[in-house]
Amino acid sequence: MRILIVEDDHMIGEAVSLALKDAAYAVDWVTDGSSASRILEGNEHQAVLLDIGLPKRDGLEVLRLLRQQGSTIPVIIITARDGVEDRIKGLDFGADDYLVQPFDVNELLARLRAVIRRKGGQAAPVLSNGMVSLDPATREARRGDTKYLLSSREFALLHALLLHPGAILA
Ligand code: CA
């Protein structure tokens, strides 16, 4: 699962990027709006965390263009505490959710899982080896009727094992 972060504030970009990598996401990070639009044309990401105040092209414009091009990729906008109008505009332009700075990393991860789950079509398929199945969008493993919510490490391990079954013998 690959996430694009669009954030010109290096402290926030760094913190979010680390948190996502920690949670076993692949992460790309760009710091201006035109780079964001360009990289999103590649269709390689499953979700976007989008700051509004950005150099070159602001976040709302990036979002508007993205939706105009027919993309349904989940977008969470990141706004300042007093950015009520930006939030409303963002939702009107087709954002899936928003986070107000400063935000808690765990809340960010939960909201990310939620928007990806809601747009199941974009999410990676459920992996299974016939005994255990794993839904990368929700991080839920299932064995028979029992569900397990995994830690980041457990998830990363199980994900790798289900993707490369031979690896367990090596
Ligand atoms: Ca900014």
What spacing in Å lies between the alpha carbon of 74 and ligand 1's midpoint?
20
Contact 28, 2 (CB under 8 A): yes
Q: Give the distance (Å) from ligand 1 centre to CA of residue 40.
A: 19
Instruction: For residue 48, report the phi and psi dihedrals to the nearest 5 degrees.
Output: -130, 135
- Sign of the Cα torsion 122, 54, 8, 86 reads negative
Quote the pTM value: 0.71
The neighbourhood of ligand 1, an ion, using CB within 5 A, equals: 8, 51, 53
* Distance (Å) from CA 24 to ligand 1 centroid: 25
**How far away, in angstroms, is 42 Cα from ligand 1 center?**
23
Identify the band that residue 121 occupies on the pLDDT scale cut at 50, 70 and 90.
low
Using the mean position of ligand 1's atoms as its centre, give its distance from the Cα of residue 117 in Å.
27
Tens-place pLDDT, residues 123-147? 466 788 888 888 877 778 999 889 8
Q: Of 138 and 109, which is predicted with more confidence?
A: 109
For the purposes of burial, counting CB atoms within 10 Å of the CB of 88, is it exposed (0-12), middle (13-18) or buried (19 or more)? Answer: exposed
Nearest Cα to 105, choosing from 9, 4, 21, 8?
21
Would the pLDDT of 88 be above 60? Answer: yes
Centroid of ligand 1 to alpha carbon of 9 (angstroms):
6
CA of 123 to the centre of ligand 1 (A): 28
Strands 140-143 and 146-149 come out as antiparallel
Cα separation of 118 and 113, whole Å?
9
- Ligand 1 centre to CA of 22 (Å) is 23
Question: 123 by DSSP, 3-state: which?
Answer: coil
